[in-house]
Chain A
């Protein structure tokens, strides 16, 4: 059934290949996990798999090989290309982005360096790296000291009170001397400028951040559990979010920011380079700021209905879907009456971190961050691809089943998804 707007390739055999990889999502359902190795014998997984970062989901990288481009040689040459580009003295950002969009191997801290370059944290000129890093890291340290101090320490520093240490030694018993308090700086102060008052007002946000950090990725040992390692990671996440909230009183902290921060911090902390791993917190802070600068408007409630707000972004997605697959669009919005807000809100604000497992979302982020068109545009294309990939099931379903499906997006081959998303770009240009 060929409707006008559905392009040929959508109905090609790629979609319904029953046996060979990648398993079409319509057939495999939830049974085959996405890291079933494709039965193509010559594919070069060994090269990519060899140095696993300390997680158990490294097998994900297998799904890297795009299936309709020539598989084997592509990956090896791709990785060497990437390494070659990264080892240059001055990198060509466009070239880097182009390679990044094709996927990044999980090994050797490539992703960590690449993301820092793509987010503009590191300049393309390798010579400037050490000075830039030192500057930024010390700036973060300063932020921490200023912002995370509790009021006792602040008042002590401000007023530099001399405790009667000398007196203690001299006199055995005496009336303790009272000193005046300037500016109403006592713990019960209700004054607006009081450090204490601000502290108590901030505790609400800090409590919220604390709760969300504890709930981030509860299935991963890196983030949750009782080990010292995970506790220190949680502490780092908390610090970053608190400092961000304090430095940005306009948006403060909104639930969901923890999900955006988690992959950044994870990638940087797992960098095999010792120095980078120690400063992962500082690096993640600046990259988080950079990442959020494009998406800040999604988190501001007042902007929800404005041109830059989340609602208009969702509308854009809707239009994109309509352009590429009118039949599906009509079925979703009009026949089954699914308001795209029900599923797209989470997809867009959290950059798809909640829809796929952690390793898959890292791959998607490679493309999202690397694409020269910009993260939001790429994101919309990927979301559109996600919808179209399961079109058969969506077209067959009604409101309930479709909503259920969209809110629990089935696992799928990520490189296939990204390939489809890429196709959209080619067409619209």
Chain B
């Protein structure tokens, strides 16, 4: 039962001052085992804040990040799943499922987490699952101003993953969940 927090595109301080208060009250240290961040934090203070939530922090570089040392892509294994991380501005067209699927095959991961579009999406295709946690602060994106703050918490338990989607809609936190299971037949490269 591993809890993995996926979030990104905070754009602090340029486009948003901070995470919404309701999100911050929920994010307390001690509950989460890993954090994967799609990028565009953008400053060190946000990095430090995330570090207090959980020491195991993985970040991919977004185009506005002030820290240049983050990698472009990252892969990690948690339990039975391989996760891939990339900001997403490198994948053109932005947010396009086919191109992201190509990236996923390249990285050879079961779950690919990308951002940049600031819209939550979760797709599955024959290679695996692509999740976009959206923007945790609701910052405007290159594409649209209409953004709801959102982030994702994955509960990895053996071969199943329950993805909890937290969205701030009209000032209220709405939580949904998505279940999926890893089936070995889905993996092409064995």
Contact = CB atoms under 8 A, between A and B. Distances in A.
A177 B175 contact: no
Interface string A170-202: 001111111111001011111000000000100
B125 A172 contact: yes
A195 to B, nearest CB: 12
A154 to B, nearest CB: 10
Contacts of B166: 186, 188
A147 to B, nearest CB: 15
Given A163-B180, A165-B181, A188-B27, A175 B121 contact: yes
Given A163-B179, A186-B175, A188-B26, A173 B157 contact: no
Interface string B155-190: 101001011111000000001111111010010000
A192 to B, nearest CB: 15
B124 interface: yes
A373 interface: no
A164 B157 contact: no
Interface string B13-43: 0000000000001111011000000000000
* A-side interface size class: 20 to 34
Contacts of A180: 176-177
Task: Identify which of A153, A176, A190, A200 gathers the most chain B CB atoms within 10 Å of its CB.
Answer: A176
Contacts of B25: 190
B177 A179 contact: yes
A204 to B, nearest CB: 9
Nearest to B186: A168
B162 A152 contact: yes
B179 A161 contact: yes
* B-side interface size class: 35 or more
A248 interface: no
B124 A176 contact: yes
A71 interface: no
A183 to B, nearest CB: 11
B162 to A, nearest CB: 7
A256 interface: no
Contacts of A188: 26-28, 31, 153, 164, 166
A176 B121 CA distance: 8
A20 interface: no
B28 to A, nearest CB: 8
A176 B122 CA distance: 6
B175 A181 contact: yes
A31 B62 CA distance: 72
Contacts of B27: 188
Contacts of B28: 188
A389 B125 CA distance: 80
A257 B26 CA distance: 34
B166 to A, nearest CB: 7
A161 B163 CA distance: 13
A179 B181 contact: no
B56 to A, nearest CB: 16
Contacts of A153: 1, 157
A340 interface: no
Contacts of B186: 168
Interface string A156-167: 100001011100
B178 A174 contact: no
B126 interface: yes
B125 A187 contact: no
A163 B129 CA distance: 14
A163 B181 contact: yes
B159 to A, nearest CB: 10
A272 interface: no
Given A152-B162, A187-B164, A190-B25, A178 B178 contact: yes
Interface of B: 1, 3, 25-28, 30-31, 97, 101, 121-126, 129, 153, 155, 157, 160, 162-166, 175-181, 183, 186
Given A150-B157, A168-B181, 13 more contacts: A152-B155, A152-B157, A161-B162, A163-B181, A168-B186, A172-B125, A173-B125, A173-B126, A176-B123, A179-B178, A186-B177, A188-B27, A190-B26
10 contacts: A161-B179, A174-B123, A175-B121, A175-B122, A178-B176, A179-B176, A179-B179, A186-B153, A186-B164, A188-B28
